Amino acid sequence: MTSGSKKFHKKALGDQVIAVDMHFMPMMAVSRRHALKALATERAEALDLETWTRKALYEITDIHDFACILYPGVQAIKDTKLKLGKGYRGILERDEHICQYCGKKANTVDHVMPKSRGGGSAPNNLVAACLACNQKKADRTPTEAGMPLIHAIHATRWKLMEQFHELTVSWSYRRKKMDEDVKIA
């Protein structure tokens, strides 16, 4: 596990829950409080990651006993319309605050294809960049500026999919470990 995924894993089992649509497509990470509200108003159901069964709020014995909620009446939107966090903060989080041109700490967001050249502000055209690289690249493409991207830009949902997979694997492992501990005792 990478340090970034450890951070998410800790968050996911602590105060973050992954919300999935009717086709089990991860949509977003939400606070546990938001998830409990959705369960209480019956807009969502808890998803048992071991058996892949749905649970209503009254079937949950511990509020930390679920890491995923399912919205049965919702279908995920296209990746190009999916927003990450609030504004550019989500792009910085996606790229783990690492400049995608030099590898240093990033504090700005750069349009890979400049807006002046028709590049949009969709997540697949935005990368984290340090101020020096952002200013050096200016309104040129990475090729024209001689500044290739360190990592390919992943689709917005890619990171959620990776986190969802890690969560399901770790959740199953945790359940098996608990079952073994019960058998020993």
Q: Mean of the pLDDT values across residues 60-83?
A: 74
Residue 185 is given by DSSP the state -
Tokens 């606070």 belong to residue: 31
Q: Quick check: 183 pLDDT over 60?
A: yes
Is residue 3 predicted with pLDDT exceeding 80? Answer: no
- Per DSSP, the residues of 46-95 read EEETTTTEEE-GGG-SSTTS-SEEE-TT--PPPGGG---SSTTHHHHHHT
**Residue matched to tokens 């949902």:** 157
| 3 state DSSP class of 98 | strand
Q: Would you list the domain boundaries of the chain?
A: 1-76, 80-145
Average confidence (pLDDT) over 29-33: 87
Instruction: Report pLDDT for 56.
Output: 86
79-128 pLDDT, tens digit per residue, is: 545 555 556 777 888 888 999 999 999 999 999 999 898 888 888 889 99
Q: Name the nearest CA neighbour of 4 among 128, 130, 107, 93.
A: 93
Could you report how far apart the first and last alpha carbons of the chain are, in Å?
30
Report pLDDT digits (tens) over 34-50.
999 999 999 999 988 77
Question: What number is the average pLDDT over the span 152-162?
Answer: 71
Domain 80-145: assigned CATH number: 1.10.30.50
pLDDT value at 8 more than 60? no
List Cα–Cα distances, 85 to 16, 45, 92, 141, in angstroms.
14, 23, 10, 26
Secondary structure (3-state) at 4: helix
